[in-house]
Chain A
Amino acid sequence: MGDLLHAFASQGFLQQALLAGLLASLGCGLIGPFVVVKRIAFLAGGIAHSVLGGMGAAVYFGFSPLLGALAAAVLAALIIGTVQLAWRTGEDTLIGALWAIGMAAGILFISRTPGYTTDLMSFLFGNMLLVPARELWFMGALDLLLLITVLLFYRQFVAVAFDEEFARLRGVPVTFFYLLLLVLVAVTVVLMIQVVGLILVIALLTLPAAVAGQWTRSLAGMMLGATLLGAGITSGGLALSYGPDLPAGATIVLLAGAVYLVSAVTSGIVARRRARLAMQRAGVA
């Protein structure tokens, strides 16, 4: 433990990795709860995977892969959202198609770029220990964008997530806010790619929010809880992976899964006990 703290205190790359995890956890908190309550995890997975196309193209043409990822994610979000709103059915087929087509395009681009293998692995599974300072600023900017948008339009996002028809009757531009929500999901995906990679993004997007949802009764509570849990899980996963030299992203995701499992079992037990106590009280009274 002392060694670990010493390493975190002395090694710049570990501090940057820790910071990257904390920056990503704000995305877990602000957007994860919407993904969970709106049940769009599959859609978010589609956006995340299609991002590889954008990253591959960016690498091939010599741009920053994160800019390519951002462009591809936003584009995928808008395509999926628009087609879903227009068709109303069959969107799972479309999401699945975009999911695979994006990845296939990305792999073609990367295979045509010299020195591709390390890039591909870090895009897919993250490379938290090698986040450059410039990309931390980029992540910080994305966090700021998420925070401002959610703070300004929290009520509209909740209304659209809760009851689209009623929101429309109250004059909320539902289509606009639904697409904006998907764009924010896309931004969050890009935010998390550095930490866990695009394949594992879906875990950070859903699990902390789902755990928080088991213990709170409001969306705002879910947001706070998921942010703190995300911070704890990314930092804890990083610390666990450091000693045995495990891949940080995979360790973080397994830790998130373990926390989710423990929380699901305990919250179930607590709910049953509460119900039993209520029955007993009713019986006595």
Chain B
Amino acid sequence: MPDARPVIDIQHVYFAYGGAPVLEDVELLVQRGEFLGLVGPNAGGKSTLLKLILGLLEPAAGRVLVLGRSPRCSRRRLGYVPQHPPFGRDFPISVGDVVLMGRLGLGPMPGGWRRADRKAAARTLAEVEAGDLAARPIGTLSGGQLQRVLLARALVGEPEVLILDEPTANIDQRLEGEIFDLLARLNERLTIVVVSHDIGFISTYVSRVACLNRTLICHRTDDIDGQTITDLYGEDVRMISHDHGHLHEAPPAGAAHG
């Protein structure tokens, strides 16, 4: 019996890191099975909103519910792919062991990995087409390979919601398409929220786009036109058509990463 409640329920959320507010009166509902693209300019609060959903930050005001409960209670049912993984590339660990860490919190705390954990790690690496990387040290991977491995680490804990922060920021365009094709396949069984600065590219994949610049400006795919982008980025944005046949916007300088 599928749960009819929204997967993510954000009501009147405010947040500030100390000075100026980063998020103001944000409201967002994400239903089960959605593939939501969260776009907006640099420092528009996209990563902050993800951290509120994950329970890594607490809102100054307002309410965040994930899977009907507080983010802290639900966070083990979420899979998260960070934009900048905090670990050093020289950390002595293999890809297989990195992926296994996504299984923490599923079994008893003391002791080692169980056979089911190892099987799940191998299966998930194969699913993201990185099965051949299992024995490689994490520091020897290319940007695209590392993204697949981080995706596998997020998936191996069997999450209900997958949350990705700029999963394709550091990789080239062909690999970007491959990653999003993979996400589209995963969307058949998972709710997905993906942050991107690249509206044009993700709008061909996602079921809905939410534009965030301190507050949510719009949240329907068909709203995305030149006016929206101007509202969002504050000036005209070049729209360029490129080889996979859809519009791709290049935000003004300074708004490209976030």
Please say whether chains A and B are actual partners in one complex.
yes
Of A155, A162, A172, A219, which contacts B112 at CB under 8 A? A155
B contact residues around A166 at 8 Å (CB): 80, 82, 101, 153
Of B54, B75, B98, B110, which contacts A162 at CB under 8 A? B98
User: How many angstroms between the C-alpha atoms of A166 and B78 in the bound complex?
Assistant: 11
Cβ-defined contact, A167 with B101, below 8 A:
yes
Query: Chain B interface mostly helix, strand, loop or mixed?
Result: loop
B97 CB–A CB distance under 8 Å = yes
How many A-B pairs have beta carbons closer than 8 Å: the answer is 72
A contact residues around B105 at 8 Å (CB): 170-172
Cβ-defined contact, B102 with A170, below 8 A:
yes
Q: Which of B73-126 contact A (CB under 8 A)?
A: 75-76, 78, 80, 82, 85-88, 91-94, 97-98, 101-102, 104-105, 109-113
B contact residues around A153 at 8 Å (CB): 109-110
Q: Encode A164-208 as 1/0 by CB contact (under 8 A) with B.
A: 111111111000000000000000000000000000000000000
B45 CB–A CB distance under 8 Å = no
CB-CB nearest in chain B for A161: B91
Given A169-B80, A170-B102: A163 and B94 interface contact (C-beta under 8 Å): no
Cβ-defined contact, A162 with B113, below 8 A:
no
A152 CB–B CB distance under 8 Å = yes
A contact residues around B137 at 8 Å (CB): 217
Given A165-B56, A218-B97: A171 and B76 interface contact (C-beta under 8 Å): yes
A contact residues around B40 at 8 Å (CB): none
B167 CB–A CB distance under 8 Å = no
B251 CB–A CB distance under 8 Å = no
Top 6 closest pairs, chain A to chain B, by CB:
A171-B105, A170-B104, A152-B110, A170-B105, A217-B137, A171-B76
- On B, residues with C-beta under 8 Å from A are 54, 56, 75-76, 78, 80, 82, 85-88, 91-94, 97-98, 101-102, 104-105, 109-113, 137, 153, 157
11 inter-chain pairs at a CB distance below 8 angstroms, sorted by A residue, are: A37-B92, A155-B112, A162-B87, A163-B86, A164-B86, A165-B82, A166-B82, A169-B54, A169-B80, A170-B101, A218-B93
11 new A-B contacts at CB < 8 Å, known A169-B80, A170-B105: A153-B109, A155-B104, A156-B104, A158-B93, A158-B101, A161-B91, A166-B153, A171-B75, A213-B92, A218-B93, A218-B94
